[in-house]
């Protein structure tokens, strides 16, 4: 049997059984009461008849009319269907309506006679050997004043009594059975009317959790069931609303965590990873399938991280820290960690939330900034020390020696110019950075031939001084997106370097070529070249392959850094191909500008 049937039928079956039992007890009581009432009514009837007959029989006895007594008994018996017996005080039967008194034995020992002789009326039920049937007897004394004349006994066969009792029992049992049938019908009806809506509700409640939006069934039935359905409906409405709120919040949180740059992971009290966002996996280089439920030490294999998590779990407060972890390529990366203990019930920690940000770039920039400040200080210190030294010498008396004074002043002038050049370059760099940040550099379609010619013109005096030939190669009409003054500055820096680091009477070629993908402007020299190990570093600020040589040539070590920045502003890149002793080619790669008519059409 299915559980819902047991549950649904059980109370009604119990009720039916209880009703049956109650009816059986009631019927039992009614039958016993009926039997008793019938018996006492019969006894009372016999007593009443005996009392009525008492007077006439006493009169006949007083007159010693024994034949009259016998007749009287026979008459009464004929009209009332009652056996009437008259017994003399000593027990001899004087008259009997149903038997010849002569053949009847002494009745002095019969219980009803004994009771009557003692002055009591006691109905007695016993077997009559005279009539060979069970009878109910009642006996009353017959007195003439104080003298006892005899006993008058009335009797009925119990068969009649029993048939009356049987009839009554049948009626009572029939009534009980009828009542039981009605109770069964009502119970079955109630059972059905309760069961059907309850089964519908049960089915509905079972599907409530997984169907959205839920559909309430039409419930009809007894008022409590309908009320229950309404309450359940209300509850289901609230539940659905709450579930949708929770899932919306969960979706929002998932979207939030999913879009975060910071890695987020949660661990339980045993430091096992419970949840994580994609950033955490990417930062730690973890495989999503092999993280959940693993201990952090097992998943990440880093003692520092594990120690930080343990400390967060035991500290009961937010913690911060920084660790270094190798990335999948083995490079060290710095992570800033923030650990928050998670609490669920009471104050007990159920785990911890770890947020991690990759601060590698920040740390690198800090190092770059520190190095830059140190470099600038160092670069400025040399000319300042030199100027201060010569001024002191002059003040100490050298000013009085015109020749020395002139030489010293020339040196001071040169160092001041150097200082000026450094400061100018630094300012140019910072301006470029600012413009880059604010995206203030305006680019226009500009013919490259013009820029090449202008830069060449600027560098011509220096080239002429070293007898260097400046050669320009640029197809007519080749153009690019440029900021002309900045681009010319970059070209001047490159040509200037080419001249500085080339032997006299050599050749510097400035060429521009264009394809559909890019425009390349190259400055090629036949100079000293740059060793491969220094090639990547020449674009760093203050980096010089040969410090002394650069300084004597008035170099600040910032020229190529400026070139790099200018090219970045143009959305391009710089490349270098160099062979020591043979020469170098610095190239600027830019986006090409579309032909003039296309641009106009656009
Ligand atoms: P500097 O003011 O010292 O020239 P740059 O930033 O312009 O500073 O150049 C950095 C260094 O790169 C130079 O000191 C020099 O050693 C090297 N370098 C630059 N251009 C050339 C070149 N055309 N040939 C050889 N070396 C060069």
The tokens describing 479, both together, are 């153009």
Average pLDDT of the residues in 186-200 = 81
Q: How far apart are CA 444 and CA 484, in angstroms?
A: 8
The tokens describing 530, both together, are 């740059």
Lowest mean pLDDT among 200-209, 283-292, 376-385, 580-589: 200-209
- Determine how many CB atoms are found less than 10 A away from the CB of residue 480: 25
Tens of pLDDT along 53-90? 989 999 998 988 988 999 999 998 888 889 999 999 98
Report the residue among 538, 546, 552, 554 best suited for mutation to probe ligand 1: largest number of ligand atoms under 8 A from its CB: 538
Which atom of ligand 1 sits closest to the CA of residue 527?
A: 24
Q: How far is the CA of 494 from the centre of ligand 1 (A)?
A: 9
Lowest mean pLDDT among 215-224, 426-435, 467-476: 215-224
* Rg of the Cα atoms in the chain: 65
Which phi and psi angles does 578 have, rounded to 5°?
-145, 145
Query: Residues 6 or more apart from 115 whose CB is under 8 A from it?
Result: 121, 122, 124, 139
- What is the Cβ-side half-sphere exposure of residue 134, based on CA atoms within 13 angstroms? 8
Q: How far is the CA of 544 from the centre of ligand 1 (A)?
A: 6
Average pLDDT of the residues in 559-565 = 93
For atom 11 of ligand 1, which residue has the closest CA?
544
- The reported pLDDT for the residue numbered 596 is 64
Which atom of ligand 1 sits closest to the CA of residue 562?
A: 6
- Ligand 1 neighbours, Cβ below 6 Å, are 497-498, 501, 525, 527-530, 538, 543-546, 550, 555-561, 584
- The reported pLDDT for the residue numbered 500 is 93
Q: How far is the CA of 80 from the centre of ligand 1 (A)?
A: 157
Q: How far is the CA of 584 from the centre of ligand 1 (A)?
A: 10
Query: How far does CA 305 lie from the centroid of its chain?
Result: 28
- pLDDT at residue 212 tops 90: no
Element (H, E) at 560: helix 559-569
Query: Residues 6 or more apart from 213 whose CB is under 8 A from it?
Result: 240
Tens of pLDDT along 275-315? 899 999 888 888 888 888 888 888 888 888 999 999 998 88
Rounded to 5°, the CA angle 222-226-232 comes to 145
The pLDDT-based confidence of 348 (bands split at 50, 70, 90) is low
Residue 124 DSSP SS3: strand
Q: Closest Cα partner for 523 from 488, 570, 476?
A: 488
Average pLDDT of the residues in 117-143 = 88
Q: What is the DSSP string of 342-410?
A: EE-STT-EEEEEEEEEE-HHHHHHHHHHHHHHHHHHHHHHHHHHHHHHHHHHHHTTGGGSHHHHHHHHH
> Phi-psi bin for 485: left (phi > 0), alpha (psi -120 to 50), beta?
alpha
- The reported pLDDT for the residue numbered 600 is 41
- The reported pLDDT for the residue numbered 137 is 93
Is residue 264 within 8 Å of residue 354, measured between CB atoms? yes
Is residue 587 within 8 Å of residue 522, measured between CB atoms? yes
pTM for this entry: 0.52
Tell me the percentage of the chain whose pLDDT exceeds 70.
Answer: 94
Lowest mean pLDDT among 330-334, 344-348, 589-593: 344-348
Report the residue among 425, 497, 551 best suited for mutation to probe ligand 1: largest number of ligand atoms under 8 A from its CB: 497
Q: How far apart are CA 587 and CA 491, in angstroms?
A: 10
- pLDDT at residue 48 tops 80: yes
Average pLDDT of the residues in 17-32 = 91
Q: How far apart are CA 405 and CA 410, in angstroms?
A: 9
Is residue 236 within 8 Å of residue 216, measured between CB atoms? yes
Tens of pLDDT along 227-257? 888 888 888 888 888 888 999 999 998 899 8
Q: How far is the CA of 560 from the centre of ligand 1 (A)?
A: 7
- The reported pLDDT for the residue numbered 58 is 92
Is residue 472 within 8 Å of residue 452, measured between CB atoms? yes
- pLDDT at residue 466 tops 50: yes
- pLDDT at residue 575 tops 60: yes
Q: How far apart are CA 39 and CA 236, in angstroms?
A: 67
The pLDDT-based confidence of 556 (bands split at 50, 70, 90) is confident
Report the residue among 429, 522, 539, 560 best suited for mutation to probe ligand 1: largest number of ligand atoms under 8 A from its CB: 560
Average pLDDT of the residues in 91-119 = 89
For atom 19 of ligand 1, which residue has the closest CA?
497
Average pLDDT of the residues in 119-138 = 87
Q: How far is the CA of 375 from the centre of ligand 1 (A)?
A: 17
Q: Closest Cα partner for 491 from 515, 542, 571, 499?
A: 499
Strand ranges (E), 145-288: 147-157, 263-268, 273-276
Report the residue among 550, 562, 574, 585 best suited for mutation to probe ligand 1: largest number of ligand atoms under 8 A from its CB: 550
Q: Closest Cα partner for 149 from 85, 247, 57?
A: 57
- The reported pLDDT for the residue numbered 601 is 37
Pairing of strands 273-276, 349-358: unpaired
- The reported pLDDT for the residue numbered 467 is 96
Element (H, E) at 479: strand 479-482
Which phi and psi angles does 283 have, rounded to 5°?
-65, -40
- The reported pLDDT for the residue numbered 3 is 46
- The reported pLDDT for the residue numbered 579 is 95
- The reported pLDDT for the residue numbered 536 is 87
Q: How far apart are CA 102 and CA 123, in angstroms?
A: 25
Tens of pLDDT along 105-117? 898 899 999 999 8
- The reported pLDDT for the residue numbered 432 is 85
Which phi and psi angles does 273 have, rounded to 5°?
-70, 125
Q: How far apart are CA 499 and CA 218, in angstroms?
A: 96
Which atom of ligand 1 sits closest to the CA of residue 528?
A: 25
Average pLDDT of the residues in 479-499 = 94
Tens of pLDDT along 513-544? 998 889 999 999 999 999 999 998 999 888 88
Q: How far is the CA of 554 from the centre of ligand 1 (A)?
A: 11
Higher pLDDT, 329 or 135: 135
- pLDDT at residue 2 tops 60: no
Tens of pLDDT along 360-394? 999 989 988 898 888 888 888 988 999 999 999 99
Element (H, E) at 137: strand 133-144
β partners of residue 323: 335
Summary mean pLDDT of the chain: 87
The pLDDT-based confidence of 1 (bands split at 50, 70, 90) is very low
Pairing of strands 124-128, 93-96: unpaired
Average pLDDT of the residues in 480-488 = 92
Q: How far is the CA of 242 from the centre of ligand 1 (A)?
A: 69
Q: How far apart are CA 325 and CA 300, in angstroms?
A: 9
């Amino acid at each position: 049997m299915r559980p819902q049937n047991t549950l649904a039928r059980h109370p009604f079956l119990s009720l039916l059984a209880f009703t049956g039992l109650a009816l059986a007890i009631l019927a039992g009581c009614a039958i016993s009461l009926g039997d008793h009432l019938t018996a006492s009514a019969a006894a009372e009837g016999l007593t009443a008849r005996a009392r009525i007959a008492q007077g006439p029989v006493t009169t006949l006895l007083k007159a010693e009319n024994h034949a009259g007594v016998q007749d009287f008994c026979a008459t009464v018996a004929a009209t009332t269907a009652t056996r009437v017996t008259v017994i003399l005080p000593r027990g001899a039967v004087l008259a009997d309506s149903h038997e010849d008194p002569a053949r009847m034995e002494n009745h002095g020992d019969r219980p009803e006679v004994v009771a009557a002789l003692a002055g009591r009326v006691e109905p007695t039920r016993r077997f009559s050997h005279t009539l060979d049937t069970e009878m109910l007897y009642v006996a009353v004394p017959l007195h003439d004043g104080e003298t006892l004349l005899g006993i008058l006994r009335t009797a009925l066969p119990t068969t009649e009594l029993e048939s009356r009792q049987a009839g009554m029992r049948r009626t009572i049992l029939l009534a009980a059975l009828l009542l039981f049938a009605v109770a069964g019908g009502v119970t079955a009806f109630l059972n059905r009317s309760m069961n059907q809506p309850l089964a519908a509700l049960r089915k509905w409640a079972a599907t409530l959790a997984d169907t959205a939006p839920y559909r309430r069934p039409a419930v009809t039935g007894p008022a409590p069931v309908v009320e229950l359905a309404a309450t359940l409906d209300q509850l289901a409405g609230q539940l659905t609303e709450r579930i949708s709120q929770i899932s919306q919040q969960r979706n929002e949180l998932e979207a939030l965590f999913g879009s975060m740059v910071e890695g987020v992971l949660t661990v339980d009290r045993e430091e096992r990873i419970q949840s994580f966002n994609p950033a955490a996996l990417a930062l730690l280089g973890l495989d999503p399938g092999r993280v959940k439920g693993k201990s952090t030490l097992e998943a990440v294999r880093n003692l520092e991280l594990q120690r930080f998590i343990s400390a967060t779990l035991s500290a009961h407060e937010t913690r911060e820290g920084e660790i270094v972890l190798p990335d999948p390529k083995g490079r060290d990366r710095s992570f800033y960690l923030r650990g928050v203990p998670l609490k669920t019930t009471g104050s007990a920690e159920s785990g911890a939330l770890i947020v991690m940000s990759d601060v590698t770039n920040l740390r690198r920039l800090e190092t770059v900034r520190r190095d830059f400040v140190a470099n600038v200080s160092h670069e400025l210190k040399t000319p300042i020390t030199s100027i201060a030294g010569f001024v002191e010498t002059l003040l100490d008396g050298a000013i009085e020696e015109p020749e020395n004074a002139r030489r010293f002043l020339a040196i001071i002038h040169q160092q001041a110019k150097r200082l000026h050049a450094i400061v100018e370059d630094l300012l140019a760099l910072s301006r470029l950075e600012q413009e880059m940040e604010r995206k203030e550099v305006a680019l226009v379609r500009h013919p490259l031939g013009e820029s090449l010619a202008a830069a060449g013109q600027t560098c011509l005096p220096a080239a002429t001084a070293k007898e260097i030939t400046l050669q320009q190669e640029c197809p007519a009409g080749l153009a690019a997106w440029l900021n002309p003054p900045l681009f010319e500055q970059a070209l001047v820096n490159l040509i200037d370097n080419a001249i500085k680091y080339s032997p006299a009477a050599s050749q510097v070629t400035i060429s521009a070529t264009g394809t559909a993908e890019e425009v390349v402007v190259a400055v090629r020299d036949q100079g000293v070249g740059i060793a491969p190990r220094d090639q990547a570093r020449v674009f760093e600020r203050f980096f010089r392959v040969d410090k002394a040589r650069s300084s004597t040539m008035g170099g600040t070590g910032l020229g190529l850094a400026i070139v790099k920045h200018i090219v970045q502003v143009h959305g391009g890149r710089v490349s270098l191909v160099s062979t020591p002793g043979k020469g170098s080619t610095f190239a600027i790669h830019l986006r090409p500008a579309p032909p003039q008519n296309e641009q106009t059409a656009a």
